[in-house]
Structure 1
Amino acid sequence: MTTSTQKISDAGVSLWFDDLSRERITTGNLQELIDTKNVVGITTNPTIFAGALSNGESYAEQVKELAAADTSLEDAVFTIMADDVQKACDVFAPIYNSTQGRDGRVSLEVDPGLARDSDGTAEMAKSLAEKVNRENLMIKIPATEQGLEPIAKTLAEGISVNVTLIFSLERYRAVMNAYMIGLEKALENGKNLSKIHSVASFFISRVDSEIDAQLDAIGTEEAKALKGKAGLANARLAYQAFEETFSSERWERLAAAGANVQRPLWASTGTKDPAYPADLYVSQLVAPNTVNTVPAKTLDYFAEHGEVVGDTISGTYDESNKVLNDIEAQGVSYNDVVKKLEDEGIEKFDASWAELLETVKKALVSA
């Protein structure tokens, strides 16, 4: 293990890898990341699958079989994705077992086109869980207003959930509430709460990108001095909300029944601005009971250059509040920013899904 990745793991941060392809699995690269860089989980999305399919020969044989069977486009997409996720789940199974389900997780996303469709999301989440049929699967559900109900419903079925696309502190609190509603219903349904796990994926770099652009447009020295601070401040205040929620009486009752905390997951942790350190959203978001999903370049940089100086979140809440208040005082609306980012996030998810469908369509036609 590298010193940096071991230190951050020892500090209570689970490193999950933000990429999956069949080639990574079959070449042993995924196992190598586990063995050498403390990777203990993996997330994926339509963009990642589209890239894997368009750049690799690993899928050619399966695509030929699907084409020969006259498989529908949607069924082909989910068959290919499910196969990769199953194989990845098997690679991570020893970690899943040794951590009692806390890590060793593989996340698979519902069709992003259902982000505003509560019933459709819940149905697809259940269908994906049945198709993959692995205990260490997590179903990714976007944290739209319409996503809150299916999050709770999916958890009530005993299915573990990765809640994605969270930008605002208000929505994050609603996600934690949905988690507890789901667990309370699961308990009523006779489910074993100790087997249900969840993470809440709080997006970081996109917040800085949007707010930095607005601060640049304002152009004053005071505005420019606040650049690169919003993403960390927002995430740190999310951790404060996490601490408050999971020390409440309501939570203590669930914990007594065997429930696991829903860990904050730092997503979108590759820096977009080259002026910022490549591991900014890794080294500066260290605290117990957190997950960081790292893209390949960020993981490689952190493994070689990262420094871990302990908890970089606890005790920063007053300062973080001041950062967001100072940004608001410059005329940048926090509420407008997070709404814009959620809307754009759904649009990007939809575009990625369309890209994936087109990639598979072309592969089936040419098979």
Structure 2
Amino acid sequence: MFAIVRRHPANIAWIALNVALLIVVAGLLVAGSRVSVTGYYSEAAWNWMAGQSMYDTTGTGFLYLPHSAIAYIPFAVQAHPQGDVAWRIISLILFVLGCYRFFRLSPQKSEFFNLSAGFVALLLCADCMRNGQATVIMTATMLLAIDAIRRENWHLCTWLLMLGFAVKPLSIVLILLVGALYAPMRWRLGVGIIVLALVPFAFQSPDYVWQQYEEFGLCLFHSNRIGYEKWWAQLFGMLKAFGLEVPDSIQTASRLLCAVGTLAICFVLKQKLDSKRFLVWLYTLTAIYLMLFNPRTENCTYCVLGPALGLFYAEALCGRRWFAAGSMMALAVVILGSFELGQHITPQGVPPVWLAPLACCFFTLYAAFRLTSELNRLEPPPSREAQPVLE
């Protein structure tokens, strides 16, 4: 971590970019910007402390576990906008640390590489930071958990994954993959889930906590329903914007099939790749699956894809693969401006939610090409049998 602050122009530029983002976001909050979801977190935190319901059970508003409201209490009790700014500072610090540890998995190790990869990750994080989304912290915990696996620190990995799940349940995808792929994690994740479920009972009455769990389950059901009914920045939302309405049953079957396919690919890659490179692909495949198949992916959710896109951009840039690097940067810009760009080229009555998943589809194709290339380099050359000598 301390390497980030070493005196090097690239490190200084990286720190300056993060500070600039914080200043802009803080300035918007001080100026009275209401483009933020932290109001839902704050309201849930106060309701928790008052022993009142945190959910409206319609699939809108506060959608997370009670743990998320408990975690936000230190920020909710602060005056506005100090609490909102503090939440974003903590989020960005964790995100930067997670990106730094994740980028170290690449064979490319330099300050310029970190700056290049970090710049792209920061681009896709910017909208999430402005909104105050818990996605930033969830992404950070996922990245740090990947690094903990590299160091075979199974206990730390477990608690990081549990923290990410407590903040935002989307991290369940990585939890399931890690549990299936790493035997030492299975019993630890089981214990972690039990402990996580019991934590809220230490802060409120058992009846109230149980009621909140029931309401959360109902809220999750309706949230998933809304994910099928409305427009979202995922694969089926993109197809819907193109005029292709996919039936709910086929959507569900596709999600399950691709989940099994992702797990199968990971099993194969774990056997073929070295541990560091496999972890890069484990996170990348997790991020792609979440972006394309999570029913309620939003444009700012693509923060999760940012570190993976940034790493492949920096590898292409440092390897002087200019077309690949330019393509990765173009995809990042399209995702960043998906709403602003999309609203000018989307038919009236259709929300501009299709550009980000379309860019993710192109990134998926690039990832498939890169993965195939890496696997081909691992294949031993065909042996040449001795040719008979003609006398």
TM-score (norm 2): 0.28
Larger helix fraction of residues = 2
Q: Considering only CA atoms, is the larger Rg found in Structure 1 or Structure 2?
A: 2
